[in-house]
Structure 1
Amino acid sequence: MSELVPPATPTAPAAAPTTVPAAPLISLTWTDHVTGRNGHLVVDRLVRGVASGGLRMREGCTLDEVAGLARGMTMKEALHYNDGDPTARYIPLGGAKGGIDCDPRSPEAYGVLVRYLRAMRPYIERFWTTGEDLGLSQDTVDRAAAEAGLVSSVQAVHPLLDDEAAARQRLADAFAVEVDGIGLDELAGGCGVAESVLAVLDRAGVPYAGTRVSVQGLGTMGGATARFLAAAGLKVVAVADVKGTVANPDGLDVEALLAARDAYGAVDRTALGPGDVELPGGEAWLSADADVLVPAAVSYAVDTANQARISARWIVEAANMPVLPEAEALLAERGIAVLPDVVVNSATNAWWWWTLFGDIGADADEAFAHIRRSMRDLIDRMLARAEADGTTPRAAAHAIVADRLPVIAERFGWYG
């Protein structure tokens, strides 16, 4: 699947400069002295002196892309701020993001990653908490961080914890939890995406059984989303990976496909079942006969040209920034709703912090229940706001964030 040229950094909803600055707090580009490859760090905003956001690695990663993702992290953190729950221990952080312009499958990728983390060590030690993102697993980030001399990729948040040792052990225990052979950390985000889909169907009065879904990407996020949706009774009729699209109008055997994935989410085609077909072209998943599309792979997957191929009723953004703004406007004109990434895929980040701060323990059932409650609440708030304002779900999410950021800034401050 080809990646598109990244657009300009998405702009935030209008707000006073003291609440949502148009420019990020910190924006920098690093050049690897060995390979000449570039890496980027953007800190969009601090809360209590700390910002949260993962580190991605992909060929063609740009500073504008990272800036857009950092702004998205500011929004995700704000959306999970629950000032109505006095028992909540997790207080959202600011937003940040890192990115490295390198193919993660390249033989030189790991060395570039280690050198990037060494260069970014002062930021990670003081105010940037990071972790896995597109192209990087948490195991790889942890191994490289240790080699770069870091205590942890999230050590900047340690001073905010009541009991650092207990918190770190709780998170380590959570990462050791497996559900049917898959790590809880690999399932948390997909649980949130799937619950977003189910919440939308419930609001629309659409039964789960018979609802058709097409998923782009069968990696961590896409694979987990497909698994939870299939378990809920939805019919996954198409999935796309780097090789193309596999489809079956009667529904794919999701578990069989997941078992046949390689480390990058590509499915072994010898494992396809009866009735499964390979569709030509890398964008066949867009035009699948489905009610719900879940782009869960690359950014900028839906543009003004290929959006015309979509007939689904809902697009649920499991990936970061998969639908270009101009394409979203055209989709809205055709009555197709886009549920934005800043809400839909926010459970991965939130699960880390709920666990580390102690809102939940290292238990899969407790984690899934907490994720489902939180995502239901977010989706319902967003869609209710969209209906009240007569606007799109994304505009409603931006409006909620614009309401919350001044409250967060006043209560907790930028620099702690």
Structure 2
Amino acid sequence: MTAAPLLSLTWTDHVTGRRGHLVVDRLVRGVASGGLRMREGCTAEEVAGLARGMTMKEALHYDPSARYVPLGGAKGGIDCDPRSPEAYGVLVRYLRAMRPYVERFWTTGEDLGLTQETVDRAVAEAGLDSSVQAVFPLLEDEAAARKRLADAFALQVDGIGLDALVGGLGVAESVLVALDRAGRPHAGTRVSVQGFGTMGAATARFLARAGLTVVAVADVRGTVVNPDGLDVEALIAARDGHGTVDRAALRPGDREAPGDAWLAVDAEVLVPAAVSYAIGAAEQGRIRARWIAEAANMPVLPEAEEALAARGVTVLPDVVVNSCTNAWWWWTLFGDVEADADQSFARVRSAMRDLTGAVLDRAEADGVLPRTAAHALVAERLPVIAERYGWY
């Protein structure tokens, strides 16, 4: 998975000078899938790594019996603070510049720094039909598929959209599989979450509902800590559009700590769900957790992962753990699930239990890290997909 990407380009905004990137790592049936992120400091190298990760996620969910056929991997990224007053204009102009790619072979959606609602609004303003319109020619019944996806996006479950929950459910299910295999009871297992946007909040909700205790949540303002457990639902209700918690909602037992305190909290499970490259060689030494579930893309650097493994910390890799947001879009669009929350949740749970179990089994059998095991599964599946559908 270290070959050069199929396509890589950099765009410069003529108004602000901000830069944006698009990397298409691989095409399957002429189409690639991967979200669009916006953050200050986003680089072409980062986007290329994310695009490779999308190729892996797609391949890991390959099921020859399913209607959904995995696509290739791609990613977009814009170097801009999403909270900046100029951010939305930059986003629209980026999408106008990328219009030929979105129309023909890049399907995209929300990622770090952006919500799907914002992406959809900017897509319309840029003159595009949909952020996933490139996949429409592959559908048997486009009208029915688009209605099914729209109906699914309209569903709310306890105050949160179904689309904002499925990714976090996948992360939570991966954690539960790891705990179950280790014989660790859910009750009494403590969790620290970095990032409280779409993925982090949903992960915290499902882990709390499974009986785990969320003891720390970090956002851009710092870390909120309570060793006895935070009220996850109250914190979710107190978020703004960027995942920042209103501190007025904190209870007497909650306390505020520095932004990096989430790393060293006394917890068994760590969930980095925000930026890439959050855990390097220095940061890993502060971690006391037994498991790290990569809800974010590329949060643990290789040298940190090796050091963590040497002291018995298991990193559940991003290409497995956070892959269900993407997969659910396609399960719904291709008709493997209907616009139904219970059906969607059941599919996510089943898929993630099978996939996480397969990766951990392979890691144990080969004596390698779970990430290495996941990459080995990808290397086996990509030629199978290529043989069936071609290399592009």
User: Which TM-score tier does this pair reach, normalised by the shorter chain?
Assistant: over 0.9
- 2:180 is aligned to 202
Deviation string for 1:123-156 (max 9, x for gaps)? 1111000011111111111111111111111010
Amino acid at match of 1:129: T
Amino acid at match of 2:243: G
- 1:290 is aligned to 267
- 1:33 is aligned to 14
Amino acid at match of 1:90: Y
- 1:3 is aligned to none
| Whole-angstrom distance in 1 between the partners of 2:334 and 2:94 | 28
| Whole-angstrom distance in 1 between the partners of 2:252 and 2:118 | 37
| Structure 1 stretches of 4+ moved >4 Å | none
Amino acid at match of 1:324: L
| Whole-angstrom distance in 2 between the partners of 1:388 and 1:82 | 23
Corresponding residue SS for 1:218: coil
Residue ranges of structure 1 left out of the alignment (5+ in a row): 1-11, 13-20
- 2:242 is aligned to 264
Corresponding residue SS for 2:74: strand
Corresponding residue SS for 1:297: coil
- Within a 5 Å distance, the mapping from 1:229-268 to structure 2 comes to 229-268=207-246
Corresponding residue SS for 2:271: strand
| Whole-angstrom distance in 2 between the partners of 1:91 and 1:142 | 24
Deviation string for 1:70-96 (max 9, x for gaps)? 00000000000013xx2x100000000
- 1:164 is aligned to 142
Amino acid at match of 1:45: R
- 1:326 is aligned to 303
1:403 aligns with 2:384: no
Deviation of the 1:240 alpha carbon: 0.6
Corresponding residue SS for 1:309: coil
- Within a 5 Å distance, the mapping from 1:82-97 to structure 2 comes to 82-83=63-64, 86=65, 88-97=66-75
- 2:118 is aligned to 140
Corresponding residue SS for 1:100: strand
Deviation of the 1:414 alpha carbon: 2.7
Corresponding residue SS for 2:67: coil
- 1:61 is aligned to 42
| Whole-angstrom distance in 2 between the partners of 1:400 and 1:209 | 32
| Whole-angstrom distance in 2 between the partners of 1:393 and 1:224 | 23
Deviation of the 1:56 alpha carbon: 0.5
| Whole-angstrom distance in 2 between the partners of 1:271 and 1:140 | 26
- 1:122 is aligned to 100
- 2:292 is aligned to 315
- 2:363 is aligned to 386
- 1:301 is aligned to 278
| RMSD of aligned residue pairs (Cα, Å) | 0.8
Pick aligned residue for 2:324 from 344, 347, 351: 347
Corresponding residue SS for 1:27: strand
| Whole-angstrom distance in 1 between the partners of 2:339 and 2:281 | 43
| Whole-angstrom distance in 1 between the partners of 2:207 and 2:365 | 29
Deviation of the 1:413 alpha carbon: 1.0
Corresponding residue SS for 2:285: helix
1:377 aligns with 2:358: no
| Whole-angstrom distance in 2 between the partners of 1:41 and 1:78 | 20
1:72 aligns with 2:53: yes
- 1:5 is aligned to none
| Whole-angstrom distance in 2 between the partners of 1:124 and 1:266 | 31
| Whole-angstrom distance in 1 between the partners of 2:34 and 2:283 | 30
- 2:131 is aligned to 153
Corresponding residue SS for 1:305: helix
| Whole-angstrom distance in 1 between the partners of 2:195 and 2:19 | 26
- 2:3 is aligned to 22
- 2:190 is aligned to 212
Corresponding residue SS for 1:40: strand
- 2:27 is aligned to 46
Amino acid at match of 2:313: I
Deviation of the 1:303 alpha carbon: 0.7
> What TM-score do you get using the length of structure 1 for normalisation?
0.93
Deviation of the 1:107 alpha carbon: 1.0
Percent of pairs with identical residues: 80
- 1:16 is aligned to none
Corresponding residue SS for 1:49: coil
- 1:4 is aligned to none
| Whole-angstrom distance in 2 between the partners of 1:398 and 1:118 | 35
Deviation of the 1:267 alpha carbon: 1.0
- 2:338 is aligned to 361
Deviation string for 1:57-114 (max 9, x for gaps)? 111100000000000000000000013xx2x100000000000111111111111111
Corresponding residue SS for 2:83: coil
Corresponding residue SS for 1:198: helix
Amino acid at match of 1:174: A
Corresponding residue SS for 2:165: helix
| Whole-angstrom distance in 1 between the partners of 2:314 and 2:307 | 10
Equivalences, count: 392
Pick aligned residue for 1:103 from 42, 63, 81: 81
Amino acid at match of 1:172: A
Deviation of the 1:274 alpha carbon: 2.5
| Whole-angstrom distance in 2 between the partners of 1:371 and 1:288 | 29
| Whole-angstrom distance in 1 between the partners of 2:185 and 2:74 | 38
| Whole-angstrom distance in 1 between the partners of 2:204 and 2:95 | 33
| Whole-angstrom distance in 2 between the partners of 1:377 and 1:172 | 28
| Whole-angstrom distance in 1 between the partners of 2:207 and 2:291 | 15
